[in-house]
Structures are given as structure tokens and as C-alpha cells.
């Protein structure tokens, strides 16, 4: 539990730093639309870590199928939950951005659209987990966890080609200060992700343990 | 290898004979796809030529995929009900033969539905006139349908194990086949307008087909085990 | 009860199976050389054991061999030696009796399939119904056809999972006759029906809560004695 505590404090520090930094960084290029560009330091890292989380779902799924160890299934479930939440936050921040920048809540931007599709896939993944019996849950959701992630790059490719996108960040938009802010953001959210992942995985394991104890107690009572 | 293919063939034959007798899947799929076309034509009003051109590909592929979904949902229910899937699994063959057999059978049912739907579509939408190259259209339909059926057959085997059985299939399948729908619609549109990236889309769909067919065939064992 | 002599042909060592958190089988050891009946209440793990032996399911740990073929490493070869009869018939309603057998016969690579089907259909007394669809069959007829399905490839080992469930008198007798003639083969049968289960077998074992709690030779034990032991063992665990 010590490790979790340390990680918790660390993520608190990291996210606070990110918030402070997001207020300090100035960008003359983005400034013309007001302070909305500060959302960038949350929006972009959230998106990255959401995809990292989905990638971890696939890796855990492959390991589960190879080793049949419940640990990997718990990791996959935990990572999918975090990914869905981070992707949802990406969509929300993206939508607010679009409203401020172009006056509409949604633009069919390839990256945002792909994130929407991906988000739906992993909501489906969690729905699948919920409607499977304990016997087959881990194995079947592992198969879907693999199929799901493979479809993401192909979806992105076809969405990009079909939407004929206009570049969203104009030339010279990303200055080195902005890039530094993004790096801090990615680090901060990675720490937060690791922290929640561990907590959720521990929760699942405790849940398993409680059920085991219940079962054994019932058995010894009757004997 | 030859033996393996023979077994695949008997699985396909079995499905076709049963379908020809019971007509559970084909009738429902066909009625449904025609309904989709009818309802779209009511919903979008009477079309002028221009509007037809831009809407036709979308309507057609919605009809194909929605009707296909209905058929795929049934695909493993008949196998589960009397333990027939287990019966096949007991036979001395790699289980991938079951996946390939079922996929081919579903592909055949889908194609029959698509051909009949297309006849209605040609009549109602004057589709024969607006399409520039029927051969290209056949190609993109085959490539698109194959990808759809490859993932669909696997996920159909997944969804029969859920509490709601085939209810979950659309939720699992549709977000994963987004590239197929986009690719097929865009390619169909490029055949109508005679410009656009037809071959580019074919290439993407072929890549999708290869990747997903392989992954599905490999992971099918894990789905049906137990 | 007959004396059967055959080398040990089903060997199960330290077999365990967990479903998520549930332990279905716990360190099961069993050797079957002629005809063993495994008794156990519902949920004892009988079906799980049969499924692992018939390669439908992988165990969490332990090994199982059929005629010296490891069912884990060599499932396809093992399958060609196993015939399974369970309470599920594995038959397609939409196919005729004969078509069902033809389909499975092809999957098993049976030589002289037509001849084999004819003789099997006669054996289970369905020769005048072979052109009828299984959908029109009674439960007992389906079960009889299912028996002939399991015997198509002349398996060395028969695995029977609650075979008497839902059988009518005729089908049960047919099954018993066939099993009785199956002298040179190995049979593992699971059931909770003590009387039927004891009738033909040479050995008995009792499975409760995933563990083998009792083994004996059938000759040494009478029906009443078995009943007493069974009830005692089952109650201990309930």
C-alpha cells in the first residue's frame, strides 16, 4: 500500500504543477482567441494517455490468453475503465475547444472523430464484460480487447482520408514552450494513470479475495 | 490440407442445406434490407438525380450491413441450441475450420441477400444508370462484405455467450467495422461520380480484410473453448 | 458385470480447473481401463471433467492422457479416439437423420461412410426413419441417433456425460445393449443415477465438489452399500 500512497501524492503534485504551468505559459499565436488555448495542456495529454490505456488493454489481453492468469484480466479491465474516462474527457475538452475556436460544439476533425469511435468501442468492451458470465468473461473480453485496438489505426486512416481535413493548428502554432507544457502534461497524466490503474487493479483483486473468503466460509460452515 | 478443406466444405454445405430448408436467416435479412431502402426513400423524400447520387451509396451500405447483422446474430444460435457447436469441436480437426466454414457460409448468405437487394435498388433508385462501372462495384462489394463477415462471424460467436445473446452484436460489431463502412461508401461514391480514390479504398479494405480474417481465425479457438 | 481386460487407457493426473474464482475440479487423479462410472451430484464437476477429457476445455493444471495421447498437447489426435454421448444430442434439427450422420462422418474422415451409417442406424433401430428430419424425432429417438453419431468413427474410448437424462425406456435399453457389446473399449460414464450407473460398470468413483472422494471395484460393492456411501459423502459436503 506504501507504493500506492507515494504514487497518489506524486500524481497530486504532478497535476498541480501542470495546472500552474498551464497558467504561466504564454503563446502569442493562440492568444488571439483568448485563454482557451490553455486547455491544450490537458486535452492533448488526456488523449495520448487514453490511447496508451487502450494499448495496455490489448497487451494485457494477449498475456491473459497466453497465460490464463487473472492478474492480466484485472489489468485489462482497469485500463479500459481509465481509458474510457480519459477519452471522454478528451472529447469534452475538444468540444469546448471547438466551441471557443469555431463557434460549434463539434467539428468532424479526424482525430476527434477517431477518438469518438474508439471511445464507443471501449464502452462496448465494458458492456461486454458486464454481460458475460464469470466463466468466460476474461477470455471473451480479451479477444474483443485485441480486435478493438487493431481497428483503431485503420479507423483513423479511413476517417482521415474521407474527411479531407483542414489543418487545425496553423503553421508555427506549436512553439517550444507549448511543447514543454505538453511534455509536462503527458508525464503528469501518465503518473495519474499508473496510480489509478494500481488502485483499480487492487480493488478487483480485493473483490476476488472477498468472494473467495465468502465461498470458503460457506463451505466450512456446512461441513 | 486437402482433408482440412473438405471439412470446411462440409460445414458450409451443412449450413446451406439447413438454410434452404428453414429459410430462417435469408428471408429475414432480405425483407429487412428492402425495408431499409424503402424507409430511406420515404424519409429522404422523392429524389432528384443529383440527390440520389450522393445518398445512394450510404443507403445501400446501411441496408447491407444492418441486414447482415441480423443474419450474423443467428449464425451461432442454431449451433448452440442443441450443442452442435460442441459436436463439431469434438471432431478431429483444428477449430479454425469451424470459423472458416461459418464465415464462408455467412458470406454466401450475405451475397444472396445483396444481389436481391441490389435488384430492388436498381429498380427504385435507377442505380444501373448512375453507376459507371459495374465491375468495380462488384469488386468493392466483395471486399467490403468479406471484411464485415470476417469480424462479424467471430463477434457473433462472442455475443451468443452473453446474457442477451445476439442483442449485443451490433454494439460490438459496428464500431469495429467503421473503416469498412467508410471505405465501401466512399468507393461506391467514387464509382458514381467517376472520380475519387477508388483503388486507394480497395487497398485499405483489402488490408483490413487480411488483418481481421487472420486475427479472427487465430482467436476463434479462445472464443469457443469451454 | 463382466470382466474386461485392457491396459489403462484414460489417465488423469492432478487435474484442476478453475472458472474465475470457482474451483470446478481439484487435483483429480483417475485411471480407467475398462468401464468406470463416476457418480456425483449436480455441480460436482462431472461435466467439466468430461469436457477436459474430450479436449473441449483446457485444465488449469494437471494432465490427462487418452490411450497415451496427451489431450492437452495433441488434442486433434486425441479427438479421433474419443466418442462422446451427453444429454445434448449435437444433432441439427434441419437435417435428416442420415444427413446428420453423413456430416459428422465427413468431419471424422470415416471410410465407407454409407455402409457405416447403415449399420449404425440399424443398430439403434432407426432404419425406417433415416430419411426423416431430426426436428420430427422424439427425445428418445434423438438420443438413439446421437449414440450412433458418437460411434461413427469407432472410438476406442467412450465418454458418457449423464447419458440417461431424458432417455425413454427404449433408448436406455439400446444404450445399455450397445455399451454391453463394447467390451474391448474403455468407457467413462458420469451420472447421478446410482441404479443405472452401477449396472454395467467394473469400477465406481464418487466426485463431490471437484474432488474424488471414493473409489472401488464394482464387484465388491452392492447397490445398497453404494447408496449409503454416496449419500454420506454428498451430505458431508452440503
Q: What percent of chain C has pLDDT over 70?
A: 96
With CA atoms as reference, the chain B residue closest to C153 would be B91
Check CB contact of C79 with chain B, cutoff 8 Å: yes
pLDDT tens column, B132-155: 888 999 999 999 999 999 999 999
Between A57-66, A187-196, C63-72, the lowest mean confidence (pLDDT) is in: C63-72
Between A94-108, B42-56, C42-56, C86-100, the lowest mean confidence (pLDDT) is in: B42-56
pLDDT of C21 above 80? no
pLDDT value for A171:
45
Confidence band, pLDDT 50/70/90 cuts, at residue B41 = confident
Backbone angles phi, psi at C74, to 5 degrees: -135, 55
Q: A199: distance to nearest CA of chain C, Å?
A: 20
Contact B117, B67 (CB under 8 A): yes
pLDDT value for A31:
67
The contacts of residue A169 (CB under 8 Å, 6+ apart) are: none
pLDDT value for A168:
52
Confidence band, pLDDT 50/70/90 cuts, at residue C79 = very high
Partners of C204 in the beta sheet? C37, C216
Give the number of beta-carbon pairs within 8 Å between A and B: 90
HSE, side-chain direction, 13 A CA sphere, residue C229: 17
Q: What does the pLDDT average to over C147-165? A: 90
CA B184, CA A167: separation in Å to the nearest integer? 26
Confidence band, pLDDT 50/70/90 cuts, at residue A127 = very high
Of A121, A139, A161, the CB nearest to B175: A121
Between B22-26, B89-93, C176-180, C206-210, the lowest mean confidence (pLDDT) is in: C176-180
Sign of CA dihedral C211, C214, C217, C218: negative
pLDDT of B18 above 80? yes
Contact B153, B177 (CB under 8 A): no
pLDDT of C4 above 60? no
pLDDT value for B14:
95
Between A88-92, A194-198, B77-81, the lowest mean confidence (pLDDT) is in: B77-81
Give alpha helix (H) positions in chain B. 2-22, 24-43, 49-75, 77-81, 84-89, 96-125, 127-130, 134-159, 169-176, 178-193, 198-224
This complex has an ipTM of: 0.93
> Measured between beta carbons, which residues in chain B are less than 8 angstroms from residue C92?
14, 18, 78, 82, 84
With CA atoms as reference, the chain B residue closest to C79 would be B92
Q: B102: distance to nearest CA of chain C, Å?
A: 14
Between A16-25, A60-69, B122-131, the lowest mean confidence (pLDDT) is in: B122-131
Residue A147 to residue B219, Cβ atoms within 8 A: yes
The contacts of residue A160 (CB under 8 Å, 6+ apart) are: A110, A114
With CA atoms as reference, the chain A residue closest to C59 would be A68
SS3 C217: strand
pLDDT value for A97:
87
Q: What does the pLDDT average to over B72-101? A: 93
- Enumerate the domain spans of chain B: 2-225
Confidence band, pLDDT 50/70/90 cuts, at residue A30 = low
pLDDT value for A170:
46
Q: In what order do the strands lie in the sheet with C69-70?
A: C22-32, C10-19, C61-66, C69-70
CA B85, CA B222: separation in Å to the nearest integer? 14
With CA atoms as reference, the chain A residue closest to B147 would be A151
Sign of CA dihedral A116, A117, A122, A123: positive
CA A171, CA A173: separation in Å to the nearest integer? 5
Confidence band, pLDDT 50/70/90 cuts, at residue A174 = low
Residue B161 to residue A128, Cβ atoms within 8 A: no
Q: What does the pLDDT average to over C86-90? A: 88
Confidence band, pLDDT 50/70/90 cuts, at residue C185 = confident
CA B71, CA B69: separation in Å to the nearest integer? 5
For chain C, the distance separating the N- and C-terminal CA atoms, rounded to the nearest angstrom, is 32
pLDDT value for A27:
72
> Measured between beta carbons, which residues in chain C are less than 8 angstroms from residue B5?
none
Contact B175, B154 (CB under 8 A): no
pLDDT of C92 above 50? yes
pLDDT value for A202:
94
- Tell me what the pLDDT averaged over chain B comes to: 92
Q: Domains of chain A (ranges plus CATH)?
A: 2-25+33-218 (1.20.120)
Amino acid at each position: 500500500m506504501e507504493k500506492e500512497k507515494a504514487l497518489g501524492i506524486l500524481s497530486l503534485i504532478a497535476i498541480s504543477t501542470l495546472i500552474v504551468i498551464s497558467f504561466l505559459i504564454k503563446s502569442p499565436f493562440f492568444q488571439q482567441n483568448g485563454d482557451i488555448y490553455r486547455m491544450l495542456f490537458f486535452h492533448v495529454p488526456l488523449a495520448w494517455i487514453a490511447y496508451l490505456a487502450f494499448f495496455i488493454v490489448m497487451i494485457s489481453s494477449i498475456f491473459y490468453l497466453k497465460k490464463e492468469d487473472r492478474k492480466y484480466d484485472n489489468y485489462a479491465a482497469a485500463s479500459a475503465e481509465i481509458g474510457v474516462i480519459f477519452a471522454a474527457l478528451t472529447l469534452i475538452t475538444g468540444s469546448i475547444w471547438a466551441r471557443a475556436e469555431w463557434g460549434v460544439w463539434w467539428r468532424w476533425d479526424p482525430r476527434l472523430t477517431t477518438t469518438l469511435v474508439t471511445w464507443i468501442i471501449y464502452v462496448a468492451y465494458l458492456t461486454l464484460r458486464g454481460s458475460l458470465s464469470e466463466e468466460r468473461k476474461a477470455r471473451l473480453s480479451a479477444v474483443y480487447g485485441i480486435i478493438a485496438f487493431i481497428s483503431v489505426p485503420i479507423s483513423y486512416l479511413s476517417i482521415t482520408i474521407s474527411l479531407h481535413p483542414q489543418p487545425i493548428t496553423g503553421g508555427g502554432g506549436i512553439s517550444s514552450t507549448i511543447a514543454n507544457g505538453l511534455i509536462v502534461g503527458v508525464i503528469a497524466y501518465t503518473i495519474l494513470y499508473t496510480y489509478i490503474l494500481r488502485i483499480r487493479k487492487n480493488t478487483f483483486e480485493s473483490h476476488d479475495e472477498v468472494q473467495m473468503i465468502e465461498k470458503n466460509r460457506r463451505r466450512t460452515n456446512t461441513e | 490440407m486437402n482433408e482440412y478443406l473438405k471439412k470446411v466444405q462440409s460445414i458450409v454445405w451443412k449450413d446451406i442445406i439447413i438454410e434452404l430448408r428453414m429459410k430462417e436467416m435469408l428471408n429475414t435479412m432480405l425483407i429487412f434490407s428492402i425495408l431499409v431502402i424503402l424507409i430511406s426513400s420515404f424519409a429522404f423524400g422523392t429524389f432528384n438525380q443529383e440527390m440520389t447520387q450522393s445518398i445512394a451509396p450510404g443507403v445501400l451500405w446501411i441496408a447491407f450491413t444492418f441486414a447482415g447483422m441480423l443474419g450474423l446474430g443467428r449464425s451461432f444460435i442454431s449451433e448452440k441450441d442443441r450443442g452442435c457447436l460442441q459436436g463439431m469441436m469434438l471432431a478431429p480437426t483444428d477449430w479454425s475450420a469451424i470459423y472458416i466454414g461459418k464465415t464462408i457460409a455467412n458470406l454466401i448468405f450475405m451475397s444472396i441477400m445483396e444481389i436481391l437487394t441490389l435488384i430492388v435498388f436498381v429498380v427504385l433508385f435507377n442505380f444501373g444508370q448512375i453507376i459507371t462501372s459495374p465491375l468495380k462495384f462488384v469488386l468493392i462489394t466483395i471486399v467490403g462484405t468479406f471484411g464485415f463477415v470476417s469480424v462479424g462471424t467471430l463477434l457473433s460467436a462472442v455475443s451468443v455467450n452473453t446474457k442477451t445473446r445476439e442483442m449485443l452484436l451490433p454494439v460490438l460489431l459496428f464500431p469495429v467495422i467503421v473503416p469498412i463502412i467508410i471505405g465501401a461508401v466512399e468507393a461506391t461514391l467514387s464509382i458514381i461520380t467517376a472520380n475519387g480514390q477508388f483503388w486507394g479504398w480497395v487497398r485499405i479494405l483489402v488490408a483490413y480484410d487480411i488483418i481481421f480474417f487472420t486475427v479472427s481465425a487465430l482467436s476463434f479457438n479462445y472464443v469457443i473453448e469451454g | 458385470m463382466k470382466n474386461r481386460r485392457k491396459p489403462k487407457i484414460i489417465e488423469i493426473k492432478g487435474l484442476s480447473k478453475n472458472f474465475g474464482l470457482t474451483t470446478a475440479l481439484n487435483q483429480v487423479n483417475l485411471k480407467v481401463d475398462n468401464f468406470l462410472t463416476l457418480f456425483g451430484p449436480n455441480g460436482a464437476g462431472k461435466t467439466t471433467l468430461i469436457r477436459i477429457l474430450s479436449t473441449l476445455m483446457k485444465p488449469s493444471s494437471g494432465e490427462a492422457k487418452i490411450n497415451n495421447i496427451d489431450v492437452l498437447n495433441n488434442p486433434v489426435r486425441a479427438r479421433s479416439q474419443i466418442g462422446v454421448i451427453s444429454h445434448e444430442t449435437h444433432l441439427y434439427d434441419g437435417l435428416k437423420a442420415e444427413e446428420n450422420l453423413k456430416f459428422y462422418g465427413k468431419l471424422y474422415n470415416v471410410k465407407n461412410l454409407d455402409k457405416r451409417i447403415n449399420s449404425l442406424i440399424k443398430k439403434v433401430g432407426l432404419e425406417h426413419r433415416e430419411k426423416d428430419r431430426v426436428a420430427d424425432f422424439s427425445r428418445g429417438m434423438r438420443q438413439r441417433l446421437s449414440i450412433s453419431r458418437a460411434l461413427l468413427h469407432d472410438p476406442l474410448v467412450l465418454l458418457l456425460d449423464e447419458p440417461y437424462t431424458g432417455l425413454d425406456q427404449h433408448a436406455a435399453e439400446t444404450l445399455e445393449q450397445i455399451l454391453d457389446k463394447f467390451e474391448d473399449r474403455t468407457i467413462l460414464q458420469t451420472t447421478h443415477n446410482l441404479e443405472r450407473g452401477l449396472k454395467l460398470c467394473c469400477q465406481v468413483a464418487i466426485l463431490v465438489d471437484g474432488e474424488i472422494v471414493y473409489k472401488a471395484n464394482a464387484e465388491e460393492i452392492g447397490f445398497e452399500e453404494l447408496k449409503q456411501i454416496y449419500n454420506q459423502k454428498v451430505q458431508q459436503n452440503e
